[in-house]
């Protein structure tokens, strides 16, 4: 009885200690993830490199061009590892339909001043095709430097990752959960029991399913709360907007 209780407490401790319930991936194994930092070097959001000049993130990570720095090739935020590449944003392009009350269309593209150089520590993230979905139950992975627990408010210095199943919009929108606040531009991922989730500071970061960034960390209810999965911007709904925005910036008429 004593040992069972001990094991139970131990398991609960692990779940509690890591509300996101994740672990540290191998250094530089997630090469498309970037850290968005203030010019003072404070991490505040994640993002994905989708082109050597472009980062995909959440619209609510918009703190203004002058305040922002993009760091690729990073793993430990507190250590200089020599693998990091830095760029200032040239232009921030939040989705025109972004609504900060409903969180609808919480997606943004950042054009960088200096392109990131692809290599052993930095690569591009593949995106899903327009309109494609992921089935409920499919296991995806979300990564970031966000809080490992909401209460303690700790930013971990090393990148963390956690595997989560996709939750159907019907269940996510049910009265026991988000009660109709999930739009068709959002997808949900998490366990009904909670314990594994993205959290504050993970926003803008990638939810990767089948090797593609299907979700951008957007919002939630607490972190890892039972019955409340994490809510992500459905990238496949914005694939055409992403392509149009990136490629039109290279034509004469629409110069970003
Ligand atoms: N909005 C939060 C941020 O600024 C992320 C929210 C994700 N929350 C969640 N429970 N999945 O970083």
Give residue-wise pLDDT tens across range 122-150.
Answer: 999 999 999 999 999 999 999 999 998 77
Judge contact between 207 and 196, C-beta under 8 A: no
197 touches ligand 1 (CB under 6 Å): yes
Q: What is the pLDDT of residue 154?
A: 65
Tokens, residue 56: 């995909």
Tell me the average pLDDT across 32-52.
97
**Is 157 among the residues known to form the active site?**
no
3-state secondary structure of 56: strand
Distance (Å, whole) CA 58 – CA 46: 8
Distance 180 CA to ligand 1 centre (A): 19
Share of the chain above pLDDT 70, in %: 88
The chain-wide mean pLDDT, for the chain, equals 90
Tokens, residue 153: 């408010």
Q: What is the pLDDT of residue 152?
A: 63
223 touches ligand 1 (CB under 6 Å): yes
Q: What is the number of residues in the chain? A: 256
Residue 171, C-beta contacts closer than 8 angstroms, at least 6 positions apart: 136, 177, 188
Q: Quick check: 34 pLDDT over 90? A: yes
What's the pTM?
0.90
In the chain the domains, ranked by start, together with CATH numbers, are 31-125+238-252 (2.40.10.10)
> Pick the catalytic residue: 177, 203, 218, 236?
203
**208-249 pLDDT tens trace:** 999 999 999 999 999 999 999 999 999 999 999 999 999 987
Q: Which of 62, 60, 52 is nearest to 31 (CA)?
A: 52
H/E stretch holding 243: helix 239-248
203 touches ligand 1 (CB under 6 Å): yes
Widest CA span of the chain, in angstroms? 73
3-state secondary structure of 44: strand
What is the full DSSP assignment across 2-14? Answer: HHHHHHHHHHHHH
**53-70 pLDDT tens trace:** 999 999 999 999 999 999
Tokens 């040992």 sit on residue: 3
Q: Quick check: 166 pLDDT over 90? A: yes
Q: What is the pLDDT of residue 153?
A: 60
Distance (Å, whole) CA 15 – CA 19: 6
**Is 60 among the residues known to form the active site?**
yes
**66-101 pLDDT tens trace:** 999 999 999 999 999 999 999 999 999 999 999 999
Tokens, residue 194: 């909670």
Q: Number of H helices and number of E strands within the chain?
A: 3, 13
Give residue 253's pLDDT band: very low, low, confident or very high (50, 70, 90): low
Give the closest residue (by CA) to ligand 1 atom 1.
219
230 touches ligand 1 (CB under 6 Å): yes
122 touches ligand 1 (CB under 6 Å): no
Q: Quick check: 8 pLDDT over 70? A: no
């Amino acid at each position: 009885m004593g040992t069972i209780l001990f094991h139970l407490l131990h398991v609960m401790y692990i779940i509690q200690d890591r509300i996101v319930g994740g672990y540290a991936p191998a250094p530089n194994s997630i090469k498309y993830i970037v850290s968005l930092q203030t010019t003072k070097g404070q991490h505040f959001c994640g993002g994905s490199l989708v082109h050597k000049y472009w980062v995909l993130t959440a619209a609510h990570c918009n703190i203004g061009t002058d305040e922002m720095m993009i760091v690729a090739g990073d793993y430990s935020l507190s250590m200089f590892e020599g693998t990091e590449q830095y760029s200032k944003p040239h232009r921030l392009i939040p989705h025109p339909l972004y609504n900060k009350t409903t969180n609808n269309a919480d997606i943004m593209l950042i054009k960088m001043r200096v392109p990131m150089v692809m290599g052993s520590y930095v690569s591009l993230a593949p995106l899903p095709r327009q309109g494609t979905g992921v089935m409920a139950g499919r296991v995806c992975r979300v990564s970031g430097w966000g809080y490992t627990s909401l209460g303690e408010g700790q930013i971990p210095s090393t990148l963390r990752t956690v595997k989560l199943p996709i939750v159907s919009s019907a269940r996510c929108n049910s009265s026991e959960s988000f009660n109709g606040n999930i739009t068709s531009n959002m997808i949900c991922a998490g366990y009904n029991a909670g314990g594994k989730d993205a959290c504050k500071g993970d926003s803008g970061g990638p939810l990767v399913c089948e090797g593609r960034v299907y979700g951008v960390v957007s919002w939630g209810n607490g972190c890892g709360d039972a019955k409340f999965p994490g809510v992500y911007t459905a990238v496949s709904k914005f694939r055409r907007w992403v392509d149009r925005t990136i490629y039109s910036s290279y034509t004469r008429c629409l110069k970003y």
